Amino acid sequence: MKIIDSHVHTWTQQIISKKDIEARRIAAEHSGTEPQLNSPVFDLRNAMKKAEVSHAVILPIDSGLNQDMPLTLQEKTDYHVDEIEGDKTLVTFVGLDPRRGKEGLIELERAVKEKGCRGWKMYPPNGFYPDQEEFYPYYNLCVELGVPVTVHQGFTSRFKYVKYARPVHVDKVAVDFPELKIILAHVGIPWVNEALMVAAKNPNVSVDVSGWQVYAKTPLKIYQMIADAKLVHVFPNRFLWGSDFPLFENDVTLHEWAEFFRNLQLPQEMIDQGYRQVSTEDIERVMWKNAARLMFGEKQ
Ligand SMILES: [Zn+2]
């Protein structure tokens, strides 16, 4: 089976800020691991090979308005475009903070039209609510360009603001732009019900399950979330598999996470209670068909 990871990252110390490095050190200390300061595309390709993940979507983050970044906005786009050049198994989005106004709009258009970026990655914890009307030109432009927007949701790192990352702040955008395809990252964790509610009521909203591998060894929470997503018809058609690679490699590797999901079955007790079992077809939709349609432009 083809597998698309709809949410991965690449970076090296040369492209991240000093604040990012510090945040990674803090997070690593907290979990008793080594900070992940370099994860170039080479590492991603190796992990994909081991995990038999055939395709992946790189989601760069624009923190340039909050932190001193070594690269300009445009240089950062080009960095990610160049690292995947000639590789049909990888695509990249463009990372943009919509508070950049006109400059950001120009970059969004350049990134998609000239550089082949497949969508926009938005990172509200840098300090903005997605439903501010001054950002509406960005959503209009995405619709015009025919690209989706993946919005980071929920849990974030030390120097970011989590209050901006609630799914409810995406609802108005989803309502006002019915043709805009929106992906709520991480199923909004910890605001899972909120993310599922926003997706359930808005047919243009999907969720991605990246980061949930942290529960793969104690999977009750994953089972319950999927059963709930199934009940509100977000799973399987608007549910994307993803990892957030390389962020959780120390807990559960990409290989283990792909394996877990490929073989996903709800426990018998849940089926006895009336939940419907996950089918092979569901898994195919979640692990590649939905992302092929949304992010690789394939008709599925
Ligand atoms: Zn991410």
| Phi-psi label, residue 3: left if phi above 0, alpha if psi -120 to 50, beta otherwise | beta
Question: 88-140 pLDDT, tens per residue?
Answer: 999 999 999 999 999 999 999 999 999 999 999 999 999 999 999 999 999 99
Is it the case that residue 5 has pLDDT exceeding 80? yes
Let me know: does 18 contact 66? Beta carbons within 8 Å.
Answer: no
Let me know: does 150 contact 208? Beta carbons within 8 Å.
Answer: yes
Let me know: does 186 contact 154? Beta carbons within 8 Å.
Answer: yes
- What is the 46 CA–ligand 1 centroid distance (Å)? 19
Mean pLDDT of the chain: 95
Question: 245-280 pLDDT, tens per residue?
Answer: 999 998 899 999 999 999 999 999 999 999 999 999
- What is the 54 CA–ligand 1 centroid distance (Å)? 19
Distance CA 94, CA 195 (A): 23
Percent of the chain with pLDDT over 70: 100
Neighbours of 220 (CB within 10 A): 10
- What is the 273 CA–ligand 1 centroid distance (Å)? 34
- What is the 7 CA–ligand 1 centroid distance (Å)? 6
- What is the 270 CA–ligand 1 centroid distance (Å)? 30
- What is the 6 CA–ligand 1 centroid distance (Å)? 10
Distance CA 106, CA 88 (A): 26
Question: 57-88 pLDDT, tens per residue?
Answer: 999 999 999 888 989 999 999 999 999 999 99
Residues 6+ apart with CB under 8 A from 132: none
- What is the 200 CA–ligand 1 centroid distance (Å)? 22
Is it the case that residue 300 has pLDDT exceeding 80? no
Rounded to an integer, what is the distance from CA 79 to the centroid of its chain?
19
Structural domains in the chain, CATH included, are 4-295 (3.20.20.140)
Token pair, residue 24, equals: 């990674």
- What is the 59 CA–ligand 1 centroid distance (Å)? 7
Pairing of strands 55-58, 149-151: unpaired
Is it the case that residue 218 has pLDDT exceeding 80? yes
The residue assigned the tokens 């603001």 is: 161
Is it the case that residue 223 has pLDDT exceeding 90? yes
- What is the 120 CA–ligand 1 centroid distance (Å)? 13
Instruction: Report, as an integer, the average pLDDT of 165-188.
Output: 98
Question: 35-52 pLDDT, tens per residue?
Answer: 888 999 999 999 999 999
Please give the model's pTM, rounded to 2 decimal places.
0.96
pLDDT at 22: 87
Residues 6+ apart with CB under 8 A from 90: 41, 44, 55, 56, 57, 58, 84
Confidence band, pLDDT 50/70/90 cuts, at residue 25: confident
